[in-house]
Amino acid sequence: MQGFPGQPRPAASNRVLTIGPNEQGIVTATVSGHPVTSAATFIGPYRLINPVYFGATTQLWQAYHDATHRYIALKFLQEKFRTDREQIRSLRWEYQVASQFDDERIIKIYEFNIDKGIPYLAMEWFSGGNMKSLIRRGLPEYAHLVRKIIFQCIEGVSYLHRQGYVHRDIKPENFLVSNQGDVKLIDFALCRKMAPRILWYLRPKAKIQGTCSYMSPEQILNKPLDGRADLYSLACTIFELVCGKPPFTGQNQTELLNKHLKAAPPPPEAYNPNLTPEFSRILQKALAKRPADRFKTIGEFAGALYDVQIFKEPPVGEVTPEMVSV
Ligand SMILES: Nc1ncnc2c1ncn2[C@@H]1O[C@H](COP(=O)(O)OP(=O)(O)OP(=O)(O)O)[C@@H](O)[C@H]1O
Ligand SMILES: [Mg+2]
């Protein structure tokens, strides 16, 4: 499948586009088994242009709004979830939460609607893949941008916390990164208002949600969350950005979650000897099991990082602290 020049290709390179007759003899297009579109070239007023991502529950397309002459990103439910109330509620929730945000580091969400039975979200188009695909390209490709990327991720998460929200799904897939190292935080489906501890315990027991490789111990244990849970997940994300792998991996989900709960955070410099001990120490502190042993806020974490060098041997053309706004 081809993206057009300068535009991201679908999330995983192993996704297979198949166009051909289905069991009923009707010609359809599928990507790794998912129907690409339901005959429509438009959803709402948006012209579908280029498929970008096929997830468990959603598809994401680059689309074009003829009336305003601009590209937008269109996220809509996969066919089998289009009448699923929980999924529709989740998409609408993402709109309700994120449409009120106004920050350079947060993707702008324009509209939630349902057209031809397809619930969709229209948002700002950002030309750049997600951080996971950047990491797959290998550190030498982006080492000079690491400092800028880290501080822009911090800005996005910190804005959310200042609005009183916890993101709860901070991970490399949920940061978009441009070729210049500019960052946008996305995917607000799990975002929740921070609540006083007592209210947290009183509200109906929600199921545990998040992504195992990046989930804080308190999130795994379904305890009250504050910004320090996102800080832990951000530290896992930054760890992967500079080491090429997240701090904990496991043969299965249980093993992985147990490591988050019990295993000491690994020293990042063991995976990348070019990391300075000061930087490694800061990352390890942000990965502490007990929230009280981490930094109090993302701002405090940023302050600690601001004063240290990340790499012993700085990459050529590194973006220096003076060039980064916190
Ligand atoms: N505004 C955007 N501009 C460009 N690409 C985007 C945009 N939003 C999302 N993407 C791409 O689509 C991917 C999935 O988006 P998102 O995280 O919002 O979906 P999701 O809710 O996680 O989907 P699922 O739960 O079905 O896996 C991102 O990782 C990114 O590659
Ligand atoms: Mg996502």
Confidence of residue 208 (pLDDT cuts 50, 70, 90): confident
Nearest residue by C-alpha to atom 29 in ligand 1:
173
Q: Which residues are catalytically annotated?
A: 169
Most confident of 2-6, 208-212, 221-225, 317-321: 221-225
Mean pLDDT value across residues 187-201: 82
Looking at the chain, the whole-number percentage of residues with pLDDT higher than 70 is 82
Helix 298-306 vs helix 277-286: angle between axes, to the nearest 10 degrees? Answer: 170
Establish whether residue 185 lines the binding site of ligand 1, counting it when its CB lies within 6 angstroms of any ligand atom.
Answer: no
From 214, 271, 265, select the one nearest 237 (Cα to Cα).
214
Whole-number Å distance, alpha carbon 175 to ligand 2 midpoint, is 9
CA distance 287 to 232: 5
Q: Is the pLDDT of residue 49 over 70?
A: yes
For ligand 1, mutation pick of 88, 95, 120, 130 (most atoms within 8 Å of CB):
130
Mean pLDDT on 250-277: 96
Question: Is residue 88 packed enough to be buried (19+ CB in 10 Å), middle (13-18) or exposed (0-12)?
Answer: middle
Residue 150: what pLDDT?
Answer: 98
Nearest CA to 315 out of 274, 281, 278 is that of 274
Find the mean pLDDT for residues 55-59.
94
Is it the case that residue 20 has pLDDT exceeding 70?
no
> What is the average per-residue pLDDT within 185-192?
96
This prediction has a pTM of 0.88
Mean pLDDT calculated for residue range 226-244: 98
213 lines ligand 1 (CB under 6 A): no
Q: Judging by beta carbons within 10 Å of its beta carbon (0-12, 13-18, 19+), is residue 107 exposed, middle or buried?
A: buried
11 — pLDDT class (breaks 50, 70, 90): very low
Alpha helix positions (H), the chain: 85-98, 131-136, 139-142, 146-162, 197-202, 217-220, 227-243, 253-262, 268-271, 277-286, 298-306
| Cα–Cα distance measured from residue 112 to residue 123, given in angstroms and rounded to the nearest whole number | 9
130-176 pLDDT per residue, tens: 999 999 999 999 999 999 999 999 999 999 999 999 999 999 999 99
Asked whether residue 301 carries a pLDDT value surpassing 60, the answer given is yes
Q: Is 37 in the pocket of ligand 1 (CB under 6 A)?
A: no
Q: What is the pLDDT of residue 282?
A: 98
Is the C-beta atom of 235 inside 6 A of ligand 1?
no
Are the C-beta atoms of 139 and 20 separated by less than 8 Å? no
Q: Is 101 in the pocket of ligand 1 (CB under 6 A)?
A: no
13 falls in which pLDDT band (50, 70, 90)? very low
pLDDT bin (cut points 50, 70, 90) of residue 2 is very low
Distance CA 242, CA 274 (A): 10
Q: What is the pLDDT of residue 6?
A: 36
Q: How far is ligand 1, taken at its centre, from the CA of residue 75, in Å?
A: 7
Q: Which tokens go with 115? A: 């057209």
Q: How far apart are CA 324 and CA 231, in angstroms?
A: 20
Q: How far apart are CA 300 and CA 150, in angstroms?
A: 14
Atom of ligand 1 nearest to the CA of 126: 3
Task: Please give the pLDDT value at position 29.
Answer: 59
Q: For residue 317, name the pLDDT band (cuts at 50, 70, 90).
A: confident
Name all domains of the chain by residue range, CATH numbers in brackets. Answer: 17-124 (3.30.200.20), 129-306 (1.10.510.10)
Indicate the average pLDDT of the chain.
Answer: 88
Q: What is the mean pLDDT of residues 274-296?
A: 98
Q: Extract the tokens encoding 176.
A: 């978009």
4 pLDDT higher than 80: no
